[in-house]
Amino acid sequence: MLAAIITLQTQENASQNLIIQRPPSGLSLQGRISIPGDKSISHRALMLGAIAEGETEIQGLLLGEDPRSTAHCFQALGAEISELNTQLVRVKGIGLGNFQEPMDVLNAGNSGTTIRLMLGLLASHPGRFFTVTGDDSLRSRPMSRVVKPLQQMSAEIWGRNSNTLAPLAVQGQALKPIHYHSPIASAQVKSCILLAGLNTEGKTTVTEPALSRDHSERMLKAFGAELSIDPETNSVTVTGNAKLYGQKVVVPGDISSAAFWLVAGSIVPGSELVVENVGVNPTRTGILEALAMMGADIQLENQREVAGEPVADVRVRSSQLKSCTIAGDIIPRLIDEIPILAVAATFAQGTTIIRDAAELRVKESDRITVMAQQLNKMGAKVTELPDGMEIVGGTALVGAEVDSHTDHRIGMSLAIAALNASGTTTIHRAEAAAISYPNFTSTLKEVCR
Ligand code: S3P
């Protein structure tokens, strides 16, 4: 069997086209894959390391663009962070409440997690003034979801569109604790409020409508914060005037990055892949459950716990997928995997329905519109719903010119779709993958046989 021809072309404007030519005879994917560190855990390790006392050692940090944005912001706030170019990153913390006033605007780049979590910390640093911004995508994403609860805690935040869009200015204050009932299941909202509660006298509680990823809770406890969790009501309470102490953090592989290979291995006939060291925290494993519903052949091997997070190697063998409905409480546990699940659904027998996922419209791009448009260019049958998609599976895809819309997960999802499309697919603005998966293309080349 001939391998696919995979080429990355850099354009004059520095953007990259990823060109995938599938041989007429098809291809198969084989091998063992190591994936980059978990993005959510990487952000939190850098942030908690920065506000802790003493040194934090981070092994396996994601060396992608998003954690680099976090590192730059927290360096500007006074933390010493070693270069992000090795597998071991050291953070010398400054202790809670000790941010210095940065000389310039804090730039969170493309990263919603950086700006939203950081806002909780900035707002609760009395007497200091901060300004925060991001790239074109981030400046159009809603900040009201964190600004409103922070204002309830008496934070002072200003910005465009009635203080809801970055750039934002923050005058740090001594905040008051609240019990916040979040209307959305969002780990960014939950974590923002909990981080604000750290430097606030009293107890701050967040209740969410469904459980979102709990990496902040796990790591806050490990760093010494006093935290109580009520699983019955999806509530977390943090006690203020906390003291955090530097820790050794081991970052597992990102299940959101593993997801591309789990779908690729399922849909490309004759494939068998093992993705090593995948974080399988139950608040993140919705993708495994959805693929199981679709009849995927996936096994967890060598299950273990590493530094407070469950980890496994995940084996996938190709199989004929079938449609399913993905809706309700599972959505926050697979929200970032919906673009690649849409690709899986395109190759599944029957009609897959994805609902209750309106949040996708305010991610790095409007992932409902963009995924539907781009997959349909390849011949898929995807219809947008206000809060999801309806995908009629089983139509053969044909190579086309598609675009990531600068959204990392869209670009990589389209690359996986291209492996099973006839002819040549060109993915424009493919460099977006570097946000969460800098070696995506080299791994793609390695596994294609
Ligand atoms: C994240 C939470 C999720 C997720 C994002 C990372 C986090 O966002 O989509 O990629 O690290 O807390 P929401 O909290 O907005 O759902």
Quick: pLDDT tens for 358-397.
Answer: 999 999 999 999 999 999 999 999 999 999 999 999 999 9
Q: In whole angstroms, give the CA distance from residue 353 to residue 339.
A: 13
Q: What is the DSSP pairing of strand 5-10 with strand 381-385?
A: unpaired
What is the best residue among 69, 115, 188 to mutate for testing ligand 1's pocket, by most ligand atoms within 8 Å of CB?
188
Atom of ligand 1 nearest to the CA of 191: 12
Please write the tens of the pLDDT for every residue from 403-435: 999 999 999 999 999 999 999 999 999 999 999
Residues 6+ apart with CB under 8 A from 22: 4, 399, 418, 419, 420, 421, 422, 423, 424
- Round the average pLDDT of the chain to a whole number and report it: 97
Q: In whole angstroms, give the CA distance from residue 365 to residue 363.
A: 5
Task: Assess whether the C-beta atom of 404 lies below 6 angstroms from ligand 1.
Answer: no
Express as a percent the part of the chain with pLDDT over 90: 97
Please write the tens of the pLDDT for every residue from 148-183: 999 999 999 999 999 999 999 999 999 999 999 999
Residue 44 known to bind ligand: yes
Q: In whole angstroms, give the CA distance from residue 362 to residue 168.
A: 18
Q: Is the peptide bond before 252 cis (omega within 30 degrees of 0)?
A: no
The answer on pLDDT for 2 being more than 90 is: no
The answer on pLDDT for 332 being more than 70 is: yes
Considering only CA atoms, which residue is closest to atom 13 of ligand 1? 186
Q: In whole angstroms, give the CA distance from residue 82 to residue 199.
A: 26
Residue 306: name the closest of 284, 326, 280, 335 by CA.
280
Q: Which residue numbers are catalytic? A: 336
Residue 171 known to bind ligand: no
Q: In whole angstroms, give the CA distance from residue 33 to residue 390.
A: 31
Q: Which residue has the tokens 């569109």?
A: 161
Give the dihedral of Cα atoms 132, 166, 218, 222; nearest 10 deg.
10
Q: Contact 111/70 with Cβ under 8 angstroms?
A: yes
pLDDT (mean) for 186-191: 98
pLDDT (mean) for 33-43: 98
pLDDT (mean) for 315-338: 98
Please write the tens of the pLDDT for every residue from 78-103: 999 999 987 799 999 999 999 999 99
Q: In whole angstroms, give the CA distance from residue 267 to residue 317.
A: 9
Distance 10 CA to ligand 1 centre (A): 30
The answer on pLDDT for 1 being more than 70 is: no
Provide, for the chain, the percentages of residues in helix, strand and coil under a 3-state DSSP scheme, each rounded to the nearest 5.
Answer: 35, 30, 35
Distance 305 CA to ligand 1 centre (A): 23
Question: Range with the lowest mean pLDDT among 281-285, 359-363, 384-388, 445-449?
Answer: 445-449
Residue 409 known to bind ligand: yes
Distance 185 CA to ligand 1 centre (A): 10
Q: Contact 343/375 with Cβ under 8 angstroms?
A: yes
Instruction: Output the pLDDT for position 85.
Output: 82
| DSSP string over 371-408 | HHHHHHHTT-EEEEETTEEEEE--PPEE--EEE-TT-H
Instruction: Output the pLDDT for position 449.
Output: 85
Number of CB atoms found within 10 A of residue 432's CB: 28
- As a three-state string, the secondary structure of 59-125 is ECCCCCHHHHHHHHHHHHCCCEECCCCCCEEEEECCCCCCCCCCCCCEECCCCHHHHHHHHHHHHCC
Please write the tens of the pLDDT for every residue from 251-273: 999 999 999 999 999 999 999 99
Q: What is the DSSP letter of 4?
A: P
Q: In whole angstroms, give the CA distance from residue 120 to residue 143.
A: 12
Instruction: Output the pLDDT for position 26.
Output: 82
Q: If 0-12 CB within 10 Å is exposed, 13-18 middle and 19+ buried, where does residue 10 land?
A: exposed
N residues, the chain: 449
